Amino acid sequence: MFKKKPQYKRRFVRVSLHCLLKYEKLEGQQVLSFARNISAGGLLFHSQEQVPVGATMRLKLNFLNHPQSISVIAKVLRTRALKKLGGFDVAVEFINIEEKDRDYINRRLLDIAEIKKDRSEDRKY
């Protein structure tokens, strides 16, 4: 018998987007990294170290054309070792984010998703 994969329903659009970020474990150490994909509810980023599931951290996200970094508190949902690249993928959920920042991220990602869709449709012709 085949085991059915659990169905996860995303509340927000998720887009593959490299975005510079700084993460700080709540003990205080800051590390520079990058997001691999992002939504208004969380993101996936690369880390050289394994971060424990359930850990809480502060993230500072930097978007092009946005004057200030966006600061959020996030909780680690899962990690995955990257054999070829080295390091780990770390998936986090935003647990404390200002609504204006969540709205900005969501608007930005919807714009990017629309552009990607338009480009994809243009290639069909």
Domain ranges of the chain: 15-123
Torsion sign (Cα): 51, 5, 116, 81 = positive
In angstroms, rounded to a whole number, what is the distance separating the alpha carbons of residues 82 and 46?
9
**pLDDT value of residue 98:** 96
Residue at 112: amino acid letter? I
Q: Is the pLDDT of residue 90 over 70?
A: yes
| CATH code for residues 15-123 | 2.40.10.220
In angstroms, rounded to a whole number, what is the distance separating the alpha carbons of residues 100 and 4?
38
Using alpha carbons, select from 69, 121, 74, 117 the residue that is nearest to residue 95.
74
Q: Is the pLDDT of residue 59 over 60?
A: yes
More confident residue, 47 or 4: 47
In angstroms, rounded to a whole number, what is the distance separating the alpha carbons of residues 120 and 49?
36
Q: Classify the phi-psi angles of 101: left when phi > 0, otherwise alpha if psi is within -120 to 50, otherwise beta.
A: alpha
Q: Is the pLDDT of residue 74 over 90?
A: yes
Torsion sign (Cα): 79, 68, 31, 73 = negative
pTM: 0.76
Radius of gyration in angstroms for the set of CA atoms belonging to the chain, rounded to a whole number: 16
Q: Is the pLDDT of residue 54 over 90?
A: yes
Burial class (CB in 10 A: 0-12, 13-18, 19+), 38: buried
